Structure 1
Amino acid sequence: MKKETMLTYLDQRLNKEITEYDVALDWDTKTHSIEVIVRLFAENSQQEKIDDIEGTVSEEEIIEFEDGILFYNPQKQEVDAEEYLAVIPYEGKKGMKKSILDGFVSYLHEVLIEGQSDLLDFLTDENQEVFELKWSDEAFQQSVKKYEEKDSNTIYIAYPSY
């Protein structure tokens, strides 16, 4: 049996806990990073003109919003945090504490629930000019803390070898 890695653990937890949203993993072996890509969809029944960050205007019936969270090795890669919803460092081959991964999945689920509601509000409220997912490092840490209290011993999930 193969050893569990950050990639397999995240995949398993995301598929189990976040079933109502589109979530994918992108493992980049060159940069030693794992990106969790999330997509939200909403019906644009009024066919409002919506432009994205690049200025592309859409009047599509279904609006798709995509964002990402990056797990990265700070010794191997410099990251522009503005490019992602959140960036989370891990400890090289050692990987990351299981409690951080569990807290991440739990908090990401909350972010997506809130984000879906905000996206629907954005499409129906003329006064709302911008939509974006909201990530709070403080709320993320609180979610991790709940799992740290459950795991009395510190269990690490290794970064995948390739």
Structure 2
Amino acid sequence: MDMLKFFDEQIEALDFAGDLNVNWDQSIRSFELEIVMTGQTNQLEIEDQEGAVQDDEVQYDDAILIYDETKVDGNEYADNYLTVLPFNGRQGMPKAIAQGLFNYLKDLLDDGMSDFLDFLDPDMSVATFQLDWDQTAFMQYVQKAEDQGVNETLSYPRY
């Protein structure tokens, strides 16, 4: 199985109230997992990530960069992403890392959506909202996949 097919299957299987999309940039061999949460402002004036005030509906966008470490230094882009994850060129990515990613994402997105809705609730006193990547929790999911015998490699797509 290749990385893109695996990502698509995992996204389809996630029960997430927002949007999760994979964008493939073939020129630099990278994937962006784009996360979008949308909610009603509930009459609150909310400043978005660009500094504009939203008074009806607000969106939160973030993304994960999965990049070919033989073509790009993903750390140069780390400030623009929730996290950056490398893979090894056309050889692809260990399936345990990809499986750990989506297992961790399930929890991160469930908790994140709950926190986002709390942020939009006028009865709650939540001043800001942002998804926070927990590298330790992510690595625990990767380790669990490895312990379960997930040892294949997801190849880079050949399209």
- TM-score calculated relative to the size of structure 2: 0.90
Choose the corresponding residue for 1:107, options 104, 109, 112.
104
Instruction: Count residues with an aligned counterpart.
Output: 156
Looking at structure 1, the residues matched to 97 and 138 of structure 2 have their Cα atoms a distance apart, in angstroms, of: 9
Q: How far 1:78 moved relative to its partner?
A: 2.5
Superposed CA deviations along residues 116-156 of structure 1, whole A, max 9, x for unmatched, are 1111121236643221011111100001111111116x200
Structure 1 position 117 matched with structure 2 position 117 = no
Where in structure 1 are there 5+ consecutive unaligned residues?
none
Answer yes or no: is 1:138 the counterpart of 2:133. Answer: no
> CA–CA distance in 2 between the matches of 1:55 and 1:17?
31
Does 2:148 match 1:156?
no
Counterpart of 2:90 in structure 1 is: 93
2:102 & 2:115 partners in 1: Cα distance? 20
Match of 1:151, as an amino acid?
Answer: G
Tell me how far apart the structure 1 counterparts of residues 25 and 120 of structure 2 sit (CA, whole Å): 34
> What letter is aligned with 2:109?
L
Q: Deviations over 1:5-62 (max 9, x none)?
A: 10111101221133543111100011210111111122222x21111222121112x3
Structure 1's consecutive aligned runs of 4 or more residues displaced over 6 angstroms after TM superposition are none
2:51 aligned partner: 55
Distance in 2 (CA, whole Å) between partners of 1:132 and 1:95 is 30
Q: Which residue of 2 aligns with 1:76?
A: 71
Distance in 2 (CA, whole Å) between partners of 1:133 and 1:51 is 16
C-alpha separation in 2, matches of 1:48 and 1:20:
21
Q: In percent, how many aligned pairs have the same letter?
A: 34
Q: Deviations over 1:56-106 (max 9, x none)?
A: 21112x322111011001221123101001100011111011111111111
Structure 1 match to 2:60: 65
Alpha-carbon RMSD across the aligned residues, in angstroms, is 1.6
Secondary structure of 1:151's counterpart equals coil
The whole-number CA distance in structure 2 between the counterparts of 1:40 and 1:147 is 28
